[in-house]
Structure 1
Amino acid sequence: MMKHLPRARRALFAAAGMTLFPLTATASMGNIGTTYGVTPLDVGTAQAMSMFNSGVAATYYNPAYLARDRRGELSVGALTANTDIDARTDFASSFAPNRDGSGVGAGRTEHVLIGMKTDLSDLFSTDRALVLGMMAGVEKYGTEMLGFNAETSDEGQYFRYGAQPLFLNIGVGANLAPGIDVGASVRVTLEADADLVLESTPGGVTSNEQIAVSAKPVLSPIVGLSVHWGEVLGADDSSWLRGVETALTYRKKTASRADIDALAIIPGLINDGLGLSLRTLHAFQPEIYAVGASYGDGALRISAVAELQRWSQLEGEFARDSVRDQADMKFEDVVIPRFGMEYRINPMFSVVSGISYEKSPLDGNESRGVNYFDNDRIVLGVGGGIEFAEVPGFNYPVRLDVAYQYQHLRERKFDLTSDNSSFNPYETVNVDGQAHVFGATLTMTF
């Protein structure tokens, strides 16, 4: 962080023998739900079937669909993703970093996931479905909830890949009328605050230190509506309308921040204290509107989804960011098409697949000092599940789902700039890459 301070302040901290260490955990602008998918069904269909998933992940994608299946669930799983960004020099000045062919570095996320849902209908005097669901995921297989970094970069850095610490959703779905389900949930994110006051000698010996760190939850709503047209229109069981479903969802934006305030008093040199205030964004999800349609006929079910992501809202967030405000980045809203299918081979086995095309929201090829990379992505997924009706030691059926997703990052050119360079852009690079995502979930249905 020290390089982001004004030069005069950096000199005073250095004279006091004080060093400001940067945060080390790689972070990204996103979450596993929007970047990869939560459960294997989401990963394997490139999120095309997510709005029609009655499992615990419905709390994020479409809470209304919780009401479609009253059965309880308890699930545990893992998701891991590795991303390799390759930057090849097209033009370089003497200030440009020495690239050894190893790329920018792999963005990595490793989540442990746990979820549950249960029917609450018996608590009320109604026969309408009312189902509660919860889904939680924690980075580094459960050991990290709030690790991140925020920095400028001379080599360039990825925009949407890296650690995505906390994923937590809680919601309910209810049957409003025959064929019509509604639902609401909240996504919980954390914002961190840190305050530091200390005295120091010019040699760097500190005393009278006072530090306070806190993290507070921030709640963002998600609402959904599902319509099962066969039931709404009273079609008989043989009618094709029985297989037609549509859904609408809205997810409010989330902007997780860290606020850091420090005051250093150096008697005889800075008696009034030298203040440092840093405000930075460590995760962001845009406002999302999605509409989808699904058709099922026996063993085969297909779906199509159009998703509007309002990334233009990020411009205002970065304008208030102490680390990245100088970059003057522009973002555009994007529409993402998704197509997926699920085929049930028999009562025991099923397979899924999907594809999506995700245009980059980063407008332009330069972000001064920050040097973000972001590419258009073609996402392909495949997965499958096996259900065991009887498992020794268990009283209920158990299902194992696995999925793999490949993300192809299309080549894009970027100009790298820095306030420390007298010649800008000091390098032009061609950037592409790929991401490999693996997910597995074990679910007990009761």
Structure 2
Amino acid sequence: MPLAAASADTGDTAWLLAATALVLLMTPGLALFYGGMVRTKSVLNMLMMSFVSIALVTVVWLAAGYSLAFGEDTAGGLIGGLGHAGMSGLGPDSLQGTVPTLLFATFQLTFAIITAALVSGAVADRAKFGAWLVFVPVWALLVYVPVAHWVWGPGGWILEKLGALDFAGGLPVEIVSGASGLALCLVLGPRLGFKKDAMRPHNLPMVMLGAGLLWFGWFGFNAGSALGANGLAAAAFLNTLAAGCTGLLGWLFVEQKRDGHPTTLGAASGAVAGLVAITPSCGSVSLLGALVVGLTAGAVCSYAVSWKFKLDYDDSLDVVGVHLVGGIIGTLLIGVFAVESMTGGAEGLLYGGGLGQLGKQLLAVVVVAVYAFGVTYGIGRLIDATLGFRASEEQEQTGLDLTVHAETAYDHGVLGHGAPVSSSVVPSAQKVTPQA
């Protein structure tokens, strides 16, 4: 009697469908989070950089990205092949474990999308939109896709040869976006008025809403990475909630002690810092470990965001201070707090595992950060030398919303920037009166 064909588990599939939608929602959430943090004259441009990343990365992922990241390894753990280019050979009956392969590919696509969108925060207010349209697909193929293969792909060297752990994206999402953001900061240079003018967030309620949507979507990001409706997903879900809470509290504690007042921006940033740090470790640490990971990230990242003023790099929206630093913290602390009941084998330093796992985590962090920084810097320099990556001084002073998109976010115009608005850049139906 022939064996019955394998079929997808309906419970696992239903959960991953929901998780995929949650992770996709994170990019619009990020757009609001970033959009509220910039000044009024560039808020639409900031939103557009996130939304256009959805379209660009999707096309690249379907054409070749998924195959290169998750296809059969062809280069000693460095990259997959093109056997599934254009999603060829992946029909509705194809399975990845207990879920349809097409669903798995879509779930992974949402990770690639938000990673590209995260980078935009480092160069807010000053990047050419046309250059961003070129940068995103090239960067996705040359930076994100190889690292995703190293960490999660079949035969990937970090996963199978080194043995470093990363449950939901500390390396390919958080550290890659932070290191790439730092590279682009150096390519484009600082904003006009950096360290001189106040560049406060223009809409803190929007920032809080964006942070809330990110937190909501993060449950799909982390618990969805279990690829099933199971106990591991439940543990990752709870760890995600716990770390977000202690990250928020850690940041507020530092603000109160250092500045004398807790802020809404600090609360939003602290929650995100805790969520960033728990991303790689949510499937490896106990609840106690998750609480410590989040608290550590919230406290350390609250200091790290000020490093840009000392080291003179203009990371507009603190991608380096939150995502790079938080990603490093979460990835390294796996080597301290990993428990066998979560990992199925590997244990951290505090649970009898010695320094071995910590050393593996450190090597993975260094290699991924250096690779992402170096390749992104090269891509950025090439685009800057050919197309120009930096917006003109006039565009930056007037605001990218008017000069690039011929729109304004608010019908009362661009507030508080003093630069005159040329009528040549404003359609007659949208002309506004600048206010001092």
Q: Give your verdict on TM over 0.5.
A: no
Structure that is richer in strand per residue: 1
Superposition TM-score, scaled by structure 1 size = 0.28
Structure of larger gyration radius:
1
Superposition TM-score, scaled by structure 2 size = 0.28
